[in-house]
Structure 1
Amino acid sequence: MKRVLTIFLLLLLLEHYQSGAVIFKMTNAVCESYNKSWVEFNVCRLRAVSRNKVSFNVDAMLHHPVHNVFVKAQLMKRANGYKPWLYKVNFDGCQFIRRRNSALIRIVWELFKEFSTINHTCPYVGLQRVKDFYLRSEKLPTPIPTGDYLLLIDWVFNKKPQAATNVYFTFVEDL
């Protein structure tokens, strides 16, 4: 019995230290529509669930069917202002949903796919939602350096920039 109790306490301590070793959470979110006749953001906000967990909610209303989605994304790291850092990708959103052929985009997709209604092929129309999305470090294949980051996403529908989603997040690895 003593051995079982000791193992249980060790597992509990190990879980406590592993869960507190990484802080990976969003700190701000900004959604902007360039053309409200095409896209309107009804909701774009963060909600604190706990000290180290923040959920992200977005409701975007697409007023016209979108058959051609092009995404321009850039990851920036804060160092005397936000500077370009490592990743800048442009991809066809409709093609990615059909084939999932980009490893880098697939990492981001794996983070939020279960919280989103964007998991079908084009065309997109009506309410598109990301609900109660939160960042999980175990979904990252490798850790990133500790710091503050900004993910800039420009949404281009039918060859015209229609909206932007900017998500600020922090990653702290306590070794």
Structure 2
Amino acid sequence: FNIVNLKCTVNKKISEFQINFKLLKRERGGWHPFLYDINVDMCDFFKRPYKFMVFTFFYKYAKDYTSMNHTCPYLPNVEIALLDWGINEKEILQKFPVEIGVYAIHTTWYTNKKSFLQINATIVYE
């Protein structure tokens, strides 16, 4: 069981905010796309989460641990955090069954169409 802690401070007003979210699976020849490669407009997501069903599924596991829970704008000097977050693998696998293997989650975060953060994780399911 792993715990994730992330903190960042916004240094200028953010009114445009997107996340590219993709799942990959390790197979012969390297990493290959697995099911999802989606772009989420986070400003729109917090206004209309029902439009982003896949991302909503994953976000619900982090929402109680993050301060990123409102629509744009994000103002300067505001801290955005994800603290003491752990993934309940059994619960996810009951709703999202996958075969044994090595998987990855890659996220790239953008503001004003410029990348400013990447968060990548590898998950080994045995």
* Residue 108 (str. 1) matches residue 58 (str. 2): yes
Cα offsets for 1:78-103 (capped at 9, x unmatched): 11322211211012111011110211
Identity, % of aligned positions:
26
TM-score normalized with structure 2 length? 0.86
Query: Unpaired segments of 5 or more residues in structure 2?
Result: none
RCO comparison, higher one (Cα < 8 Å, 6+): 2
C-alpha distance in 1, partners of 2:55/2:115?
Answer: 20
The CA deviation at 1:139 is: 4.4
| Amino acid across the alignment from 1:135 | I
Tell me the residue number matched to 2:124: 170
Structure 1 residue ranges (4+ consecutive) displaced by more than 6 angstroms after TM superposition? none
- Cα RMSD for the two superposed structures: 1.5
Cα offsets for 1:93-117 (capped at 9, x unmatched): 1101111021101111111111111
Q: Is the contact between residue 60 and residue 129 of structure 1 (CA under 8 Å) also seen in structure 2?
A: yes
Tell me the residue number matched to 1:138: 91
Higher Rg: 1
Q: Is the contact between residue 65 and residue 124 of structure 1 (CA under 8 Å) also seen in structure 2?
A: yes
Q: Is the contact between residue 45 and residue 71 of structure 2 (CA under 8 Å) also seen in structure 1?
A: no
For residue 161 of structure 1, give the secondary structure of its aligned residue in structure 2: strand
C-alpha distance in 2, partners of 1:117/1:59?
Answer: 10
Tell me the residue number matched to 2:39: 90
C-alpha distance in 2, partners of 1:139/1:124?
Answer: 30
C-alpha distance in 2, partners of 1:123/1:156?
Answer: 14
The CA deviation at 1:153 is: 0.6
* Residue 122 (str. 1) matches residue 75 (str. 2): no
For residue 57 of structure 2, give the secondary structure of its aligned residue in structure 1: helix
Q: Is the contact between residue 110 and residue 139 of structure 1 (CA under 8 Å) also seen in structure 2?
A: no
For residue 94 of structure 1, give the secondary structure of its aligned residue in structure 2: helix
The CA deviation at 1:165 is: 1.0
| Amino acid across the alignment from 1:65 | K
**How many residues end up aligned between the 2 structures?**
120
Cα offsets for 1:27-71 (capped at 9, x unmatched): xxxxxxxxxxxxxxxxxxxxxxxxxx1111111222111111111
For residue 3 of structure 2, give the secondary structure of its aligned residue in structure 1: strand
